[in-house]
A and B are shown apart, each in its own frame.
Chain A
């Protein structure tokens, strides 16, 4: 096959000692960036981009440069899970769903297992996405082109619907939490009309409520406040800290191959279209909960609840590079910055790149395989180290976490206002948790609310106010139908069960 030949050639291009070295450096930096909340993959790549300008003068240098930058990206994808699991603070937006089961696992002394599961599933997701990029790139690029506003709205609808029935909180509290998320998402400039909404003349509100700041406050600070309530006497969280835990967890993982596969498909799809890694992780989690036999236990420390979002997020993050390379549209903010890098090195991403710069493209694809393997090795060796962090007494680790949260909130927009906002969200998180208002719907609405609204209103503009546009072609029709099926899954499945009996 032609692809195999090209790939082998790519490996020959990528496999130089220099490039392998860059891979390790990139991964380690990326993990560090992923661990620090606020400093996302996009920032990381942007910050280190200038370092690569001198490299990009030769074709071989261009390959090295993209390897360094893309490995930072892989590292950040891996690293986002670490703080989610250990401290309930998502390092990256796409690791919010990982906190749902990852953090309870860590509290039960299973941090090592959770980390291993997260890293391994990240790798699996990425690997499947790279396979897809290798063999299906042209086909997939065409599929991505079919996504207009109605299709995007249908995808967001599907994400919401796959999450319905997730929480056991009082229904009206769930509704209130979700609507609060939507309301917060609406603050700022309305894309469709260019009007300012809900800002009341406060210039701080112009940029809207950033998802990360809300999440750092709600989850991170909120959790510290809940923990401190029970006093400072440290309940020894002893986790297994040997490398053995990795092997033991690996033995468990194949059982969940269905979940991994499902999440990979969701992730690839969301990465290409480009919905992004964050909706992918939520959808992966929601769908897994619906289909898993132990779905009822999700949220209490189920390993499947870590596998599902991590696989989906990493598959999405990886496949997001495909539209960037073939169409010149970035599937994620990080891909957007990488795109800028390509331009500076004198490469024009887009349909011609695959034809004109074979070495570069296949070198990059080969580096995706290598980079993810390198990444997996690096992060797995750190599992005992990170699991050991939980042994540090609370009165040392708590202020350090608070400092990290403050730095994280500040770096998102370089704004002190955001740090205050984070503190307020922390209090909200604490109160809501105690009053049984669920946080997941709030966060989901906050991250997808304005995007869903934009897509809906763009569709309405296109159809001049006709709602049937969401069934106007087989693609959008089937996604919408799927979403409605998900929405009524609980009553439907009980009917099916009854019929079977």
Chain B
């Protein structure tokens, strides 16, 4: 798990991420318990009520998270030679995928009142960016792949299988929706 190179600083310690995760799971457990309580979490006359199982699921989640939290705190911090969750370099790499992916999903469906550009155009741009920026491919290869993939999917989904996927202004202009 430790791909951390000595010359790369840690972006986050394993200990911290582990503890934070345990806290988040605890909160989820608490929310589950709260809603189960509202639904009725007892064993009624004819078997368990709606919230019976979720209640215990939530309770076990909370209990397990407390133990996980304590265990996490017992780990060493990075300064004391503990493990790193992710090094800065790796984190940058992960972000270089995550950020375009998030932008990609926004582009497909839009956000709030802003309409998206549809999955096909977004995919073409996404693949092109990836290839140009991260893969350092030339324009020729990039354009051919980034055009071919969405077109193949378009033919397959819209025309052959008749499964409508999100489309944007370009498709509307071409009369393809």
Interface residues of A (CB under 8 A from B): 32-33, 36, 39, 43-44, 47, 170, 172-173, 175-176, 179-180, 182-183, 186, 190, 192-193, 195, 197-198, 200, 221, 224-225, 228-232, 393, 395-396, 398-400, 402-403, 406-407, 410-411, 414, 416, 419-420, 423, 426-427, 430-432, 434-435, 437, 453, 456-457, 459-461, 464-465
Contacts and interface: CB of A to CB of B under 8 A. Distances in A.
A228 B50 contact: no
B50 A190 contact: yes
B57 A179 contact: yes
Contacts of A228: 93-94, 96-97
B166 to A, nearest CB: 7
B35 A200 contact: yes
Interface of B: 1, 3, 14, 17-18, 21-22, 25, 28-29, 31-32, 35-36, 39, 43-51, 53-54, 57-58, 60-61, 64-65, 67-68, 71, 85-86, 90, 93-94, 96-98, 101-102, 104-105, 108-109, 119, 123, 126-127, 129-131, 134-135, 137, 145, 149-150, 153, 156-157, 161-166
A416 B48 contact: no
A172 B14 CA distance: 17
A232 B60 CA distance: 40
Contact of A193 (B22, B49, B61, B153): B49
Contacts of A459: 47
Given A224-B97, A228-B96, A393-B135, A460 B47 contact: yes
6 contacts: A43-B163, A190-B39, A197-B36, A395-B134, A402-B101, A407-B165
What 8 pairs across the A-B complex have the smallest Cβ distances? A460-B47, A395-B135, A416-B109, A399-B130, A176-B64, A229-B90, A399-B127, A172-B67
A465 B46 contact: yes
A229 B94 contact: yes
A458 B155 CA distance: 46
Contacts of A402: 97, 101, 104, 126
A180 B61 contact: yes
A175 B64 contact: yes
A176 B65 contact: yes
Nearest to A226: B94
A229 B64 contact: no
A197 B21 contact: no
B149 to A, nearest CB: 6
A190 B93 CA distance: 42
Contact of B153 (A173, A186, A195, A403): A403
Contact of A183 (B46, B61, B127, B164): B61
> Considering residues A183, A398, A400, which has the most beta carbons from chain B within 10 angstroms of its beta carbon?
A183
Contact of B64 (A172, A197, A457): A172
A425 to B, nearest CB: 13
Contacts of B163: 39, 43, 47, 411
A181 to B, nearest CB: 9
Given A182-B54, A396-B130, A403-B126, 4 more contacts: A176-B22, A176-B61, A190-B50, A411-B165
Contacts of B29: 179, 183
A457 B52 CA distance: 10
A400 to B, nearest CB: 6
Nearest to A430: B94
A179 B33 CA distance: 12
Contacts of A47: 161-163
A403 B153 CA distance: 10
B129 to A, nearest CB: 8
Contact of B25 (A44, A176, A229, A423): A176
A31 B129 CA distance: 30
A172 B68 contact: yes
> Considering residues A33, A173, A232, A453, which has the most beta carbons from chain B within 10 angstroms of its beta carbon?
A173
Contacts of A431: 17, 21
Given A186-B54, A395-B135, A232 B126 contact: no
B50 A406 contact: no
A153 B156 CA distance: 40
A183 B57 contact: yes
B138 to A, nearest CB: 13
B64 A195 contact: no
Given A225-B97, A416-B108, A435 B18 contact: yes
